[in-house]
Chains A and B, each alone.
Chain A
């Protein structure tokens, strides 16, 4: 029997697995990435796109911590669009169509070229245990891989079940086997498991689409990339097409509703509301006569087209009919039918903020297994789980993210304290400190933390420090130049004669004011490069709001810093109601801030918990 030994083993080569393995290796752990097959690394199971609103923020944060998703997406991008370009910078999200094959190839290159990271192939069927602790994995061929910590990223593979019409069969993704043995093994841990569902549309042959009659959706003229290190696009840029469903399409779907897996009652899992199947759209918004469908090319060397907006679990013949009822698709050929897939997930409230299972030491989970959806959500969790698995393996302190410093922190806090009722997707509205958690300042927020915990390489560090020096120089000019309303009006910036002296940084917060407008008042500003000028403007725009939120944010950070030990004795805390006790025992909040957000929590109960923590600390230090 073969045996090998690592610090960290990551199971799964999807988006969560890749960023987990890479983060673990960057953090200094000897890491193995185990995948069913090499070609499975970096596969996009659903649409060929990365980023978007909230999601683009996550990718920037991953990049700020020197993760891989952003730079791979930049290399594979064939169309870049910055969403919400005309709204404030806080809610602008970069998005890109990606060439699937290039994405896979570049991701594989990242994995195989990363020092300390080794890729293994095989199916994981069991864990190696030492007491209640996971200390490695067993592959189908019986070989053992020992590790101090294991990260599991099973995506939709854990007891995956594919549905097309009334046909259903076991599978992890079209063309791949499900991980059934591992599913049974997970169940034996007594973890709270549930079923979720997601769906994907049929794939079309682009050569059979009549593009001439269709509307185009081009990318931005000036592409905004994901990585703070990328300088420009790598591939030829293309446009997407747009078509629409019509009353005939809806008729076909309505007539065949009972043949849909979803409506035929074959599916128990809960699907995401923001990613409804075309059946759902037709039923729930019956008075809408048409829905938009984006025709997204899957790559430059690939004729496959992904019709975004018509995911389905209808039988193949119905898919054929309704697709051909749409303009431009009259002669279209379906290359692969759309399908729904159900899979196991673990209630994420069983995890702590490192994404480690509280009851199974040594085992970390990331991605869809935690009830989320989306490549970006998966990769961000992978980074946190991989990093902390490495920290545990190396005997170093865990790295925790906060709602006040990142979308990553918002997501992990949401998952571990609130659980999920449908696949969890990031939205900017989930972040209460949205104005400070911007895509444009992800590096300012997180790169210093990444440097501190050993996650950021030398080249990014150097680039970041140089950028901060430029911003610091500009900021100094803005802060140190004070002007009167008269000076401003003379410079063409309209302001009331209120006699108020303002710093140029304050003036820059006026809407529609740019650094260029201020050069007359402080000529040195003209020496700054355009990107630095723009970043200063974005920072200034929100300064007063961020100031206003500071009290709240500080109070939250303070509570987040008050860790509650996992074995905290709620049973013997006098003055807690039984109801609260049982809630606290179930959720086991990681810190005081999480405890405070539990429904029904009272100020008295929080005070009791806090005083017990204080006492325990005193006893410890005494």
Chain B
């Protein structure tokens, strides 16, 4: 029997959010947070940890089956109502073996199985379950619309084709079908995997949307980075002076960029230095910039090209335009070019949020990760002739099932349609 979990209170900001876990793995799952189950039916205040990091101080309730809502062992986590805390907790639970997120109505179903509910109670809940189902359907529709919809349709097409090829050599071995479909199947699964991985990353970026995007400002020492930051932030956050290497550490300024939370990072100027403290600062600047969502590189007057390897989305600007008189440059002193920069940043980030926000749902991320695991098994087996097609097909079937909620249900009829339209089958 699987152990299931779900947010039991309304999603979004609330005073308290309740996550409910039910099934044989409910108590053991708490070890993932560094905890053991408290005595049944006695509330306990505990620190929820993810490794060394404290996630939240939570109220824990344990119910030993059958004396619980579902009749199974069950745990309730009462968390502070922050979306970020809830999302992290759900993510961690999803990583525990044998645990999965509940489908709408699944808790009710288990309660019914264990005679914990009667018809009248179910009728009372039916509307709620229906609206939950409907909300998920709408969400799925949003996923299927627009750019991401095209991506997802691409997965569906490739997966059906790959499965159909494997099934064709299995079920129609005595017909005129290709003998070796492995190269094409491998190509299809590689392509889907790459795209799934990109999407999984995209979903992680979306996770960070709530906490804000990070923008690092890079450039040679004294290129005008701190001045620009101060202008953007409207206060003296970083110490600015004309002496090169003034900023020795990473300085953060959180600001609201046309409704989007953005954290600006001012970094130590990039140059060779013998000053040990400054060298550490530079190393840290590079490291932090590596992890940021977007980088602005300020060229100092006379500098031809940046001292870093550029990423496609990097913004390169000429700094200190007040001094150089460069009309295309930017200046934290006069504010020249700052509006244009803000417009550029907000367009970039709002594009990213609209694309990934729909895919942020933890359900989808977990589905993608499960599918990726199965696909990587399948790809490994495709490359090794000792693994027969029936086993590879099983891994692929498992991957497709994991993606049900995204690509829609893939049925044997879909595979047969593909087979009969591709190959001349039949004696």
Contact = CB atoms under 8 A, between A and B. Distances in A.
B119 A434 contact: no
A521 interface: no
* Most chain B CB inside 10 Å of its own CB: which residue of A54, A87, A612: A87
B81 interface: no
* Most chain A CB inside 10 Å of its own CB: which residue of B117, B169, B412, B426: B426
A196 to B, nearest CB: 16
Contacts of B92: none
Contact of B109 (A88, A512, A551, A606): A606
Interface string B146-173: 0000000000000000000001011111
Interface residues on chain B, size class: 35 or more
A263 interface: no
B129 A294 contact: no
Contacts of A308: 427
A607 B116 CA distance: 12
A87 B388 contact: yes
Interface stretch (A207-215, A284-292, A400-408, A467-475): A284-292
Given A429-B171, A429-B412, A88 B390 contact: yes
Contacts of A95: 174
B420 interface: yes
A611 B170 contact: no
Contact of A551 (B2, B129, B173, B394): B2
A276 B425 CA distance: 8
Interface string B84-126: 0000000000000000000111101100110101110011011
B138 to A, nearest CB: 14
A615 B118 contact: yes
B304 interface: no
A427 B389 CA distance: 15
B173 A84 contact: yes
Contact of B133 (A558, A602, A608, A610): A602
Contacts of A548: 398
Contact of B105 (A291, A574, A603): A603
B244 interface: no
Nearest to A511: B386
Contacts of A429: 167, 170-171, 393, 412, 415-416
A614 B104 contact: no
Interface in B379-397: 386-391, 393-394, 397
B174 A83 contact: yes
Nearest to A290: B176
Interface string A427-451: 1111010110000000000000000
Interface string A71-112: 000000000000110111011000100000000000000000
Given A545-B394, A551-B2, 20 more contacts: A47-B427, A52-B174, A53-B173, A84-B170, A86-B388, A87-B170, A95-B174, A284-B424, A288-B424, A308-B427, A309-B426, A429-B171, A545-B391, A575-B127, A603-B104, A604-B104, A607-B129, A608-B119, A611-B118, A615-B118
Interface of A: 47, 52-54, 83-84, 86-88, 90-91, 95, 272-276, 281, 284-285, 288, 291-292, 294, 308-309, 427-430, 432, 434-435, 511-512, 545, 548, 551, 554, 558, 574-575, 602-608, 610-612, 614-615
23 contacts: A53-B172, A83-B173, A86-B388, A88-B388, A88-B391, A95-B174, A274-B420, A274-B426, A284-B424, A427-B412, A429-B170, A430-B412, A545-B394, A554-B1, A603-B108, A604-B129, A604-B133, A605-B126, A607-B112, A607-B122, A607-B125, A608-B119, A615-B118
Interface of B: 1-2, 103-106, 108-109, 112-113, 115, 117-119, 122-123, 125-127, 129-130, 133, 167, 169-174, 176, 386-391, 393-394, 397-398, 412, 415-416, 420, 424-427
